[in-house]
Amino acid sequence: MQRFEGRVALVTAAGQGIGRAVAHRIAAEGGAVVVTDLAEERVRKVAEEIGEQALAVKLDVTSRAEIDAAVAATVERFGRLDVLVNNAGGCLVTSKPEVTDVAGWHRQLDLTLIGAAQCIQAALPQLLKTKGNVVTISSVNGLSAFGNVEYSAAKAGQLSMTQNFAVRYGPSGVRFNVVAPGTIRTPNWDGQPGVLAKFQKMYPLGRIGEPEDIAAAVAFLASDDAAWITGLTLPVEGGVLAGPTHLDLTPS
């Protein structure tokens, strides 16, 4: 299935984990991919894995100048931009929410929410030309209380932002959707032995998610198979929002 033949996608935080899987999935379906990340060596490696239809660009999504440069590099290399995948983000604040200072809140919001907004702003002129679309990777934390207040608030903000962009630009033919993953097996969990095994007990489907699970959902929403879907948040979370199957997460 070549749903992205002739199309170009820019994926943020694509050096590993979910972003890498998304880049590979879109390329496997015929698309050209701009692989971006703060870690230059990682994006070069991913671009090499994909081959000649990939371009590696170092990108800090908290810098509007770098975002604009990434979009310009995309158009210079491939002539167009059809899909933006907002994957950059992370939980930067680990203190108790009652003591998080303003700087901590800004660090979290600047990366996860404002960074995604700036990427959309920079990509919009191109997406309006191609009647393209945006898929933002949020989290179940944006839909329910799983802890990490600042991170969850930023992720919830992505959902509202997406709905507002979807209504504003739907008449112009540009779609905006969200994928909200549960716990996914990524390098972010490295160095925390046993944590994923504990989390797995919560999931009705009996396993932790894989990056490829999220990539499949992104590929659907970004393709013409979802041509009449916009403003949607699609949870991809093993059933945990229906209800956790095991509440005891204390160490065994």
Active site (catalytic) residues: 151
Helix 17-28 and helix 40-50: axis angle, to 10°? 20
- 3 state SS of 9: strand
Phi, psi of 78 (to 5 degrees): -115, -10
Torsional class of 79: left (φ above 0), alpha (ψ -120 to 50), beta (otherwise) = left
What is the C-alpha to C-alpha distance for residues 145 and 163, in angstroms, rounded to an integer?
Answer: 21
Residue found under tokens 């679309």: 133
Name 151's bridge partners: none
Q: Token pair of 176, please?
A: 């905006």
Contact 132, 82 (CB under 8 A): yes
- Could you give the count of Cα atoms lying within 13 Å of 161 in the half-sphere of its Cβ? 25
